[in-house]
Structure 1
């Protein structure tokens, strides 16, 4: 396992992580900010300063997802763009979106389907961008 870890294309992994993480920033603070707040029942709440856990937590999770995907792609020998998109979609729907929706179905989230849709589509798009970057020869 250590051999696989060391043989990853770390420039691709780091670039994929940055793109996925930055997409999250755009997705939740610009593109879908209002809908996201509605899904959480906070559309009328006063804006609070951003605590660092809401930056570092998603960064660590996104990094783990990206590295895990890189290891999986390495083991499966995914090297072609179409294969990357197929596997990215498979992971996006089968793990990330399904798990996000499962987490959203929670009495603490007032609009779980809306929350699940916003977050699931983010992860679907994000993991496919990761997949595309991982198979590039950078």
Structure 2
């Protein structure tokens, strides 16, 4: 079986380790956002596909039997593209999703609709904040006094 794993997460790496040497032809695909990705035990391709059409073409041309979306929770575009491409190519898709954080009794969450709203919600007084944004969004918080 030919399996393409869309990765870049710890879950993807664990899946690759579990499938390496299984007899399946596994390929890991990374977006290319990390300068020096950790070497994995299966062939790895780096870079985009050119939208859902490009990914569907890759699946078909490479005889991929299964597609696994084990991308970062903030990688919404590739997850959408994977779903569309799998449907176009007739390839089964498994989407691995992390369970969401759950509120605890002592938590003081402030939910907002966007990164700019999150920066504004921090206010002016220095405080400690735990951000669950992807690293590509961190630059917006440079203006906050924290």
TM > 0.5? no
Structure with bigger strand share is: 2
Instruction: Report the structure, 1 or 2, having the larger helix content.
Output: 1
Larger Rg computed on CA atoms:
2
TM-score norm. by structure 2 comes to 0.27
